[in-house]
Structure formats: structure tokens, C-alpha cells
Amino acid sequence: MYTAMPVDILKCSQVPSLGYEATGTAEFGDEVGPVPVGRSLTQLRVLFQSFGCGVSGTWNAGNCVTTPGSTFTHPITANIYAVDNSSGTPAPGARLATVTQSQNIAYRPSADPTNCTGSDAGKFLNTNTGLCANAIGQLLTFNFPAGTTLPSQVIWTVAFNTTHYGDNPIGEGAACYSTSPGCGYDSLNVGVYSFPGAPYRGTDIDPDGAFLNSVIPSTYCDGGAGGTGTLRLDTPCWTGYRPLGEIRAV
């Protein structure tokens, strides 16, 4: 119904991303126009970027250590909203569908001093792309129960809690917070990039905007003038950085 992602997106080089913990974000997504109208929602797929290390170190210190294949689980909520245009500015309307699912998320691999040197020092060699990277991309799928008929336009979002942010911040008492790499969910980002020719199905209603809920004013294009801590249209500073989601329906 809508997709901003090429079919082989995991073979693309590392794309930019929005970090929820780093930007005080609780919820993030986009307003899109699925086509054709009247289909039944089945899935939302979103590209995430995982920067977290499994054993020790951090990506930005260049000393990441991860046991191969290790993962962590974290609950993430996917939402589909109707669009309220009554004020003249698109806003979230009724929530048409929501699911919270525990997702299995990979830690990024250890730093590779053999294949990733010089300006790439501290990165790992992504075997899907053949390039050194700081984060590992992962497509997460959210399955919705049958029964939600999609209108002509919707707002899709994903929301999750981090140590200090979200609807219910986890806090610093979590066991992972005091470890060397910290908590994996604090290094979990949502991919944002406008691939050439995207979207490949459907319409991005505002290619320069996204829907954002952050408590940090500087995260917004307007410096928070339109309010913080609520999901609202954030435009026009997202040019070239489209939230990477895909809506499927039958």
C-alpha cells in the first residue's frame, strides 16, 4: 500500500537515523497516502538501525565488542492514525490500529580492525553491503489483527521507551544501564532517508516533514515553538530524510 524502502534495503549502505534516547523522542513516523483505498491493514514494517554493543564498548568510542549473533528484546508499539485536517494543518486523528510487540533486535557486531581501518576504524564489515558501518540495519515487522480498513491517508508511527524518554521511561535502575555498553534500546534508531524515486508505492503527503513527539525543543524544525511532548507535524527540515516505513494490506 505504501513503501519508502527499496526491496533490498538491507543491502544498502548504512542510512541516517533518528535516535530516540539521543533526541528525547517517544514516537515518530510519517503521513502517507496508501493506495488503493479500502484495503484491510495487515502489517507495518520499519527500518531500524541498532548501534548497541552486546558485551562492552560503544560504537562512537570505536571499541565495540559483541558476541556474534547476540540480540536483545524490547517492546515497541506501532500505531496507525487517521488524519485530522480540521485545523488546516494535518494532525493525528483517531487511532485506527495499535499493536505492541516484543521485538528481537540484533546488537551491532564487534569493531573489525582488519577490514575497517583509517577513517573506518571502530566500525564492522557489513557482509550484506561489503562496507564498514557503525550500525546494523534491521527490518522489524508489526502484525495487526484483521479488521482495520485504511482510509485515503494515514499517519504511521513507532513508539518505545528508553532510559530517560518515552511514555513510561525505563529509568536508570535497569541492569543494563550500569554496564559498559549500556542498554541496547538507548542505541536503537529509526531509519530516515529519501531514496531516489521513493516512495515506491503510495504517496508521502509532506516529503519535507515527519510526525514527531519529543520533549527536547531543538529536535523540532521550529525549535519547539509549536509545542513539545506531543505528536505533531514537524516540517520542513526533513527534506531528504523520509521515515523508512512500509504499510501492507490485503
Nearest residue to 140 (alpha-carbon basis) of 57, 203, 77: 77
The cell numbers describing 117, all together, are 581501518
For 13, other C-beta atoms within 10 Å of its C-beta total 13
pLDDT given at position 36:
82
Return the HEC string of the chain.
CEECCCCCHHHCCCCCEEEHHHHCEEEEEEEEECCCCCCEEEEEEEEEEECCCCCECCCCCCCCECCCCCEEEEEEEEEEEEEECCCCCCEEEEEEEEEEEEEEEECCCCCCCCCCCHHHCCCEEECCCCEEECCEEEEEEEECCCCCECCCCEEEEEECCCCCCCCCCCCCCCHHHHCCCCCHHHHEEEEECCCCCCCCECEECCCCCEEEEECCHHHCCCCCCCCCCCCEEECCCCCCCCECEEEEEC
Q: What is the pLDDT of residues 179-237, one digit of tens each?
A: 999 999 999 999 999 999 999 999 999 999 999 999 999 999 999 999 999 999 999 99
**Contact of 29 with 59, CB cutoff 8 Å:** no
pLDDT given at position 232:
98
For 109, other C-beta atoms within 10 Å of its C-beta total 22
- Adjacent-strand bridge partners of 60: none
Average per-residue pLDDT for the chain: 97
pLDDT given at position 212:
99
pLDDT given at position 237:
98
- The mean pLDDT value for 114-123 works out to 98
Q: Give me the percent of the chain exceeding a pLDDT of 90.
A: 98
Question: pLDDT tier at 128 (50, 70, 90 boundaries)?
Answer: very high
pLDDT given at position 183:
98
**Distance between CA atoms of 218 and 187, rounded to whole angstroms?**
19
Q: What is the pLDDT of residues 106-115, one digit of tens each?
A: 999 999 999 9
Count: domains in the chain: 1
pTM of the model: 0.97
User: Looking at the predicted structure, is the pLDDT value of residue 35 above 80?
Assistant: no
How far is the CA of 33 from the CAs of 38, 91, 97, 114, 184, in angstroms?
12, 14, 16, 46, 33
Range of the domain at 115: 2-249
pLDDT given at position 144:
98
pLDDT given at position 227:
98
> Residue 28: left (phi > 0), alpha (psi -120 to 50), or beta?
beta
Under 8 Å CB-to-CB from 141, ≥6 apart: which residues?
A: 43, 44, 45
Q: What is the pLDDT of residues 55-93, one digit of tens each?
A: 999 999 999 999 999 999 999 999 999 999 999 999 999
